[in-house]
Amino acid sequence: MKRTPLYETHKKLKAKLVEFGGWEMPLFYSGVVAEHKAVREHAGLFDICHMGRLTVKGPDAKAFLQVMTVNNVASLVPGRAQYSLVCNPQGGVKDDIFIYQKGEADYFLCVNASNREKIYRWFLDYRSGRNVSIEDVSDRMGMLALQGPQAPGILHKILKERFRPLKHAEFFETEMAGVTVMAARTGYTGERGYEFYFPIQGTEALWNLFYENGREDQLAPVGLGARDTLRLEMGYALYGHELTEEISPLEADLARFVDFKKEEFIGKEALAKQQEKGVPRILIGFELKIKNVPRQHCKVFYQDQEIGEVTSGNLTPSVQKGIGLALVQSEYRKKERDIFVGIRDKKIPADITKKCFLKK
């Protein structure tokens, strides 16, 4: 298994280490519930060096990314980022990504760790005839996330007069601990926070800088366990669960990120047909009426008819209910439907809800 530069740091912090996408990563340190609450109430620090990072540069970079992704890259300007998806010709999702525009012909992409090689090769296969260079810089760059209501204050404490308030999906470059850092107002928790990109040699110095400056604000190191419960409460999709090569953005209820006005992008024809005819299945949110824990692959029922399957589920610390996302037949998406989730040979009653479960 691969290890990030913070492997020894995680061991010193007594992290429970597990395999994740080919990486040995911290599942938790003090515990999933405590780390989850730290992010919701104070701040959390995440090692996400396992994520994939690509650069796309050159005169044809914008036109190339317009074809390779479903969102409108032309709407970006330097210093802005966007969430998007990479689709196959059948409309299935190869990965969901973030695209950062650093310059007129300079783009930076963050992709899922398990899809890093797949997306890199996919882009190379479609590069022919275009004046564009594509590079996998994952091994040369580190990535940390600082998330939670205290995150802006911690960053302000470090940067002082160099601190810049950012809107969602804005970013800027600065220096911290002698390291050049791209600080982005992005994240996977639903809280205010940042993701940082930098030369990988600076990983430990930056982790220690955030960790020390966050002590007074009750910052906690956070592992993959709380990262998952945090994103689930917000209804954020996770690749391999809500998104796969067999699930389209429209089925995953992410049509708002698909720009059909673009002249061309891979998967457009298949997705346009889905849009015209309507998707046969759709992603919904649900809450169990009885305390229990739904999990991926649990069957979903309407009366005695099986209508779909849970893609993600858990009993989360902030909601204190069994919640989940499920892919069901579209005709059963209406909230007045009474559905049931099959858990260990029992059918547990549930309400269809909004996919954002956290009520702030």
Q: Which of 277, 328, 329 is nearest to 298 (CA)?
A: 328
What dotted CATH number matches 280-360?
2.40.30.110
For tokens 């699930």, the residue is 247
Task: Give the pLDDT score at 93.
Answer: 98
The answer to whether 262 touches 317, Cβ cutoff 8 Å, is: no
CATH class of 7-48+139-233: alpha beta
Domain ranges of the chain: 7-48+139-233, 280-360
Token pair of 70 as six digits: 């479903």
The predicted structure's pLDDT at residue 338: 84
Inter-residue contact 203 to 2 (CB < 8 Å): no
How does pLDDT run across 284-296, given as a tens digit for each residue?
A: 999 999 999 999 9
Residue 151 backbone class (left: φ over 0; alpha: ψ -120 to 50; beta: rest): alpha
Rounded to whole angstroms, how far apart are CA atoms 339 and 333?
10
Q: In one letter, which amino acid is 168?
A: H
Tell me which residues of the chain have a pLDDT lower than 50.
Answer: none
E strands of 201-330, at which residues?
219-222, 281-288, 299-302, 305-315, 322-329
pTM: 0.96
For residue 103, the one-letter residue type is: G
Classify residue 52 by burial, with Cβ atoms within 10 Å: 0-12, 13-18, 19+.
buried
Instruction: Give the chain's largest Cα–Cα span.
Output: 62
Nearest C-alpha neighbor of 16 from the set 229, 239, 319, 226: 226
Q: What is the pLDDT of residues 215-237, one digit of tens each?
A: 999 999 999 999 999 999 999 99
pLDDT at 21: 86
Task: Say what the pLDDT of residue 234 is.
Answer: 98
